[in-house]
Structure 1
């Protein structure tokens, strides 16, 4: 049961194994995106909860497809707010093609306009015993 995926790194030159959260780190929380507005609005609610419970001051929502803001939009907004690093965090339970290929490709594209800002794509939420406790 030790199948926890490793994060897919972005611009690896500025990231170290002993990564510590900095004041100007930003988080982009990415879901799939939906044609249903109420589904997309749930991500905004989660982003607000995440912002309230963590030390990150720059947190933006993004949708992989079908809705806005896009990953590119959110990445740019983070940089406008002064981000020095961007953490792209998929709001997905399990690894799959979107996590392994699509989101890293979209993050790489978004970072081209901000080549001085390192980024990383984290692993999906995955397995944790609290997921069962909360259910």
Structure 2
């Protein structure tokens, strides 16, 4: 089974965390993807944290987990913190394939998204 784990920073504002959870739900319900499991997790300030999110995917039967950092910029969290957490979790689950995608903000479609949003379309 293949899982997608969307990870965000986490916020003291619950509504912000709920937005990330809603994205995971919408992707899960979308159906036009090759993931059996779609979940969300957070770096800090919210639950579940990244290791807990990965554990949930593993307990749900995932043999491969694609971690997608829902971050706009490649700051310390993206370049250092997340890779360190993933390395620790990989060590605990050597039989599970865990890969991290580039952060969302680095996507080439981001330019089109910004322009469409700015033009109101």
TM bracket, shorter-chain basis: 0.7 to 0.9
RMSD (Å), alpha carbons: 1.5
Partner residue, 1:13: none
Partner residue, 2:17: 40
Work out whether 1:84 is the aligned partner of 2:63: yes
CA distances 1:44-82 after superposition (whole Å, capped 9, x unpaired):
111111222342220111000111101110101111111
Give the C-alpha shift of residue 132 in structure 1.
2.4
User: Matched residue of 1:105: which SS?
Assistant: helix
**Structure ranking higher in helix proportion:** 2
Higher RCO (C-alpha 8 Å, min separation 6):
1
| Runs of 4+ displaced beyond 3 Å | none
Structure 1 gap segments, 5+ residues each: 1-23
1:33–1:63 CA contact under 8 A, matched in 2: yes
> What is the distance in 1 between the residues matched to 2:111 and 2:40?
23
Q: 1:132 is matched with which residue: 78, 102, 115?
A: 115
Q: 1:72 is matched with which residue: 45, 51, 65?
A: 51
> What is the distance in 2 between the residues matched to 1:115 and 1:100?
22
> What is the distance in 2 between the residues matched to 1:108 and 1:51?
26
Structure 2 length-normalised TM: 0.84
> What is the distance in 2 between the residues matched to 1:58 and 1:66?
23
Structure 1 length-normalised TM: 0.76
> What is the distance in 2 between the residues matched to 1:129 and 1:66?
31
